[in-house]
């Protein structure tokens, strides 16, 4: 079977490599010349664990190729996946579908025969129907189907999530389209992955509902953490106490600085807009967005408070910049607003992130100093703030860390450290939602 993937970003590249691993012939179309050059040279344009080997092995096996030429890619492809970005549109919170519709038109012009045009990008309800109209208007002669196959992978664990997903959702409305997608996903069917066949609108909405629910769960435990601080309770015990209830579940109950990343912020906003547009407002999603925004802005204030009310002239070491560990993705990372505020208030920021520093340079204030490693960042700092819970930060010995610093303030926004051990090492430790 042959397919094409339009867009070689986090989702397109991982999906393409995994489909190739399932023995499908995949050609990825990428417009960004720098990304394409990197891929041709065997270098990954993003950081995702295991991706370089998976890509290079499948390229070597002749199952995976990259091109800027859409016509060559879609020729003979039984399915063409659209995996381009759907960022927030400026001004109104809607998903910006410019790239999706442009890709649909390009695909329509290039196809030479029947194919299923599948959205893998996260797209609002109605996008599939609109794509069908665009394709039909561009090529009235073309035989095609449109389908929705939203992607649920998590950055940092993307290959595992794609290869062993909890479920696959396929919105398709003809037997022919369902057959193509069933064949493509046959390796997952064989390992008994639930495959949920739905209509197109249902599949589109399912993706937003999943992300909004997870964002709400994170936001709920963050609010509980704030309450724990007021009443002297421990949020980790609360999370365990509720999470062991099978109806609630333990995942996504870790308190932190507020959700960020390439999906939750934009997808909650887009769902909120869709719900308003259709006259069925989602107050829960609206509250989630507002509470999370407020939380992200309040994190810098925690640091300022821990530093005695002002950070002017103080040196602050920041560990972790990406929105979560095991990715280089800085999109909507909580680090952005925290660092902007601290630097704006006159702090000197010395930052370290294992993979995110290249992307961080584009979004953080130019005054930020990027360091070799954690101890280099901590050297001479008055305060240390942990924003992203990379594993290597867990292993830092408290005594060495403390010895490297000038001051003793430690703000742990992910609760990775043991408060008792940190206080014994001489730190003035501030976690999230833990007593005293
Ligand atoms: N990143 C995630 O973890 C994740 C998870 C699930 C779903 N999604 C969704 O998947 C979609 C893609 O997200 P991403 O993070 O991979 O984005 P991304 O920005 O990393 O990748 C998109 C890529 O598409 C390329 N592109 C744009 N227009 C093109 C065109 N016409 N032809 C060829 N290439 C084109 C861009 O150059 C870019 O490399 C979004 O809708 C997102 O919401 C993302």
Question: Consecutive sets of 10 residues in the chain, 436 residues long: mean pLDDT of each?
Answer: 98 98 98 98 97 98 98 97 95 94 98 98 98 98 98 97 98 98 96 97 98 98 98 97 98 98 97 97 98 97 98 98 97 97 98 98 98 98 98 94 97 97 96 88
Ligand 1 center from residue 350 Cα (angstroms): 31
Give me the helix-helix angle, 200-231 and 264-277, nearest 10°: 120
Cα separation, 83 vs 7, whole angstroms: 5
| The predicted structure's pLDDT at residue 198 | 98
Closest approach atom of ligand 1 to CA 86: 41
Q: Is 34 exposed, middle or buried (0-12, 13-18, 19+ CB in 10 A)?
A: exposed
Query: Can you give the length of the chain in residues?
Result: 436
Q: Is the CB of 287 under 6 A from ligand 1?
A: no
**The pLDDT of residue 139:** 97
- Give pLDDT, residue 388: 98
> What does the pLDDT read at residue 45?
96
Rounded to the nearest angstrom, the distance between the alpha carbon of 316 and the centre of ligand 1 is 34
Catalytic residue among 228, 263, 307, 371: 263
Q: What is the pLDDT of residue 188?
A: 97
* Per-residue model confidence (pLDDT) at position 435: 80
First to last CA, the chain: 60
Do residues 293 and 252 make contact, with C-beta atoms less than 8 angstroms apart?
no
- Ligand 1 neighbour 265 (Cβ under 6 A): no
**Protein residue whose Cα sits closest to atom 1 of ligand 1:** 10
Nearest CA to ligand 1 atom 15: 10
Is 263 a residue of the active site?
A: yes
> CB of 413 closer than 6 A to ligand 1?
no
What's the CA gap between 289 and 272, in Å, rounded? 9
Most ligand 1 atoms within 8 A of CB, residue of 84, 99, 260 to mutate? 84
């Amino acid at each position: 079977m042959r397919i094409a993937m339009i867009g070689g970003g986090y989702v397109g590249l991982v999906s393409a490599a995994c489909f190739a691993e399932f023995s499908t012939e995949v050609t990825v179309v990428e417009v960004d010349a720098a990304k394409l050059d990197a891929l041709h040279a065997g270098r990954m344009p993003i950081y995702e664990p295991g991706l370089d080997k998976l890509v290079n092995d499948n390229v070597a096996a002749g199952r995976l190729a990259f091109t800027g030429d859409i016509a060559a890619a879609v020729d003979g492809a039984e399915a063409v996946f659209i995996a381009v970005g759907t960022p927030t549109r400026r001004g109104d919170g809607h998903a910006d579908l410019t790239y999706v519709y442009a890709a649909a038109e390009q695909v329509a012009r290039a196809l030479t025969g029947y194919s299923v045009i599948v959205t893998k990008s996260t797209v609002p309800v109605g996008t599939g129907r609109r794509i069908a109209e665009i394709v039909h208007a561009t090529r009235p002669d073309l035989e095609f189907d449109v389908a929705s196959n939203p992607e649920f992978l998590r950055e940092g664990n993307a290959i595992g999530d794609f290869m062993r997903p909890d479920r696959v959702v396929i919105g398709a409305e003809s037997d022919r389209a369902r057959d193509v997608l069933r064949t493509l996903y046959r390796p997952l069917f064989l390992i008994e992955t639930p495959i949920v066949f739905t209509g197109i609108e249902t599949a589109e909405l399912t993706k937003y509902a999943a992300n909004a629910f997870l964002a709400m769960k994170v936001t709920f435990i963050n609010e509980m953490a704030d309450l724990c601080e007021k009443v002297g309770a421990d949020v980790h015990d609360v999370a365990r106490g509720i999470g062991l209830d099978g109806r609630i579940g333990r995942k996504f109950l870790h308190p932190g600085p507020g959700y960020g990343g390439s999906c939750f912020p934009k997808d909650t906003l887009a769902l909120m807009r869709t719900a308003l547009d259709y006259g069925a407002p989602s107050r829960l999603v609206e509250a989630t967005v507002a509470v999370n925004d407020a939380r992200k802005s309040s994190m810098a204030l925690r640091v300022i408070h821990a530093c005695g009310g002002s950070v002017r002239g103080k040196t602050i070491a920041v560990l972790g910049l990406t929105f979560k560990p095991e990715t280089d993705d800085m999109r909507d990372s909580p680090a952005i607003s925290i660092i902007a505020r601290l630097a704006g208030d006159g702090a000197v920021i010395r930052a370290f992130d294992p993979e995110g520093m290249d992307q961080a340079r584009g979004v953080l204030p130019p005054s930020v100093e990027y360091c070799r490693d954690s101890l280099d960042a901590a050297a001479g700092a008055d305060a240390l703030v942990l924003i992203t819970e990379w594993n290597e930060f867990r292993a830092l010995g408290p005594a060495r860390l403390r010895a490297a610093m000038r001051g003793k303030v430690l703000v742990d926004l992910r609760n990775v450290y043991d408060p008792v051990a940190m206080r014994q090492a001489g730190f003035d430790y501030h976690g999230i939602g833990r007593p005293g």
